[in-house]
């Protein structure tokens, strides 16, 4: 299997396979893909300083499915923002596919976010005026894909892959919560990222909708993607292979889960 993530700015056009092209990881586990070494994140200064992360160590290997749990305010979203190159550590080292993220310029970070990582959020973050397929094509636009027809084809394929092929032209307010989250997942998958990071993806969903979303996460993992899911729900967490608990900005426990 070729290297699933090659970080950095390749420049020019990129070639990404179409869904669902990824192969499962080789037996015996992958290599370190996301590696936090003593990562701290402090917001504010002096007496207003909040130590959202306080020396976190975490290694996620290629092809893993990891759940992260912890109380509100424990630093989970901060951790995800750093893993996803949406934010940078105040101190410590973040190695993404072996490359120190602190040495990457904004263009390289944007490249990684646009090509290697898919994000799913609790609040869906769909643009309300746009039909589903136009929401899903946005990452391809941001990634500089010029062919409108090809963008539309890939958006439609991504929507079909999450069971939304019959709602291509619906706007978000014409969709249920579970359907909106599936559109958001299609948007996360349309660039065929190697890594999917989700922050409370089922937090706003009824249990039957959550079950559908979790089935999609399992399929993403089965396709060889590395999946990290933040959740408050033990049932959601126990669908993963591994459970990391954080407290006060540090990893409290890290256990393999029986499946
Ligand atoms: N941009 C910010 N500026 C200042 N403080 C922040 C900022 N973002 C987060 N914090 C603080 O950092 C700490 C960790 O926040 P974070 O959002 O990572 O928690 P969380 O574990 O995701 O919580 P929740 O389960 O409620 O989503 C909190 O005390 C929060 O108030
Ligand atoms: Mg959070």
Residues 36-67 have pLDDT tens digits of 999 999 999 999 999 999 999 999 999 999 99
Any residues with Cβ below 6 Å from ligand 1, and which?
A: 43-44, 50, 52, 70, 72-78
Cα separation, 2 vs 17, in Å, equals 12
CA 158 centroid distance within chain = 16
Distance 195 CA to ligand 1 centre (A): 23
Whole-model pTM: value is 0.89
Which atom of ligand 1 is nearest to 249's Cα? 14
Pocket test for ligand 1, best of 71, 78, 84 (most atoms within 8 A of CB): 78
Give tens-digit pLDDT for 170-210: 999 999 999 999 999 999 999 999 999 999 999 999 999 99
What residues have CB less than 8 Å from 109, skipping those under 6 apart?
85, 101
Cα separation, 62 vs 84, in Å, equals 15
CATH fold of 64-78+104-241+250-256, please? Rossmann fold (3.40.50)
Domain range summary for the chain, segments of one domain joined by +: 64-78+104-241+250-256
Taking only the tens of pLDDT, the chain with its 259 residues reads: 334 455 544 333 333 333 344 445 545 567 999 999 999 999 999 999 999 999 999 999 999 999 999 999 999 999 999 999 999 999 999 999 999 999 899 999 999 999 999 999 999 999 999 999 999 999 999 988 999 999 999 999 999 999 999 999 999 999 999 999 999 999 999 999 999 999 999 999 999 999 999 999 999 999 999 999 999 999 999 999 999 999 999 999 999 998 7
Cα separation, 102 vs 89, in Å, equals 8
Q: What are phi and psi of 234, to 5 degrees?
A: -60, -35
Which atom of ligand 1 is nearest to 41's Cα? 12
Integer CA distances (angstroms), 20 to 59, 181, 219, 254, in order: 26, 19, 10, 30
The CA radius of gyration of the chain, in Å to the nearest whole number, is: 18
- Ligand closest to 74 (CA) is 1
Neighbours of 61 (CB within 10 A): 16
What residue's CA is closest to ligand 1, atom 26?
72
CA 30 centroid distance within chain = 18
Neighbours of 219 (CB within 10 A): 14
């Amino acid at each position: 299997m070729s290297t699933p993530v090659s970080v950095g700015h390749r420049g020019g056009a990129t070639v990404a396979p179409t869904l669902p092209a990824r192969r499962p990881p080789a037996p015996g586990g992958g290599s370190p893909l996301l590696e936090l070494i003593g990562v701290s994140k402090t917001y504010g200064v002096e007496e207003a300083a909040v130590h959202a992360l306080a020396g976190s160590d975490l290694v996620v290997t290629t092809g893993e499915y990891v759940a992260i749990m912890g109380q509100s305010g424990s630093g989970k979203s901060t951790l995800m923002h750093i893993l996803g190159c949406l934010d940078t550590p105040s101190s410590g080292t973040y190695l993404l596919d072996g490359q120190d993220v602190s040495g990457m310029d904004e263009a390289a970070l944007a490249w990684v976010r646009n090509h290697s990582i898919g994000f799913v959020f609790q609040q869906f973050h769909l643009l309300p005026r746009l039909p589903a397929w136009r929401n899903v094509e946005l990452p391809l636009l941001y990634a500089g894909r010029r062919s409108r027809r090809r963008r539309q084809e890939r958006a439609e394929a991504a929507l079909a892959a999450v069971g939304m092929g019959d709602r291509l032209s619906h706007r978000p307010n014409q969709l249920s919560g579970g359907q909106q989250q599936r559109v958001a997942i299609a948007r996360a998958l349309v660039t065929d990222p190697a890594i999917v990071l989700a922050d409370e993806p089922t937090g706003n969903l009824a249990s039957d909708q959550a079950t559908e979303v979790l089935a999609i996460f399992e399929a993403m993992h089965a396709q060889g993607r590395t999946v990290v899911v933040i959740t408050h729900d033990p049932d959601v967490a126990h669908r993963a292979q591994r459970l990391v608990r954080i407290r006060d900005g540090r990893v409290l426990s890290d256990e393999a889960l029986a499946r």
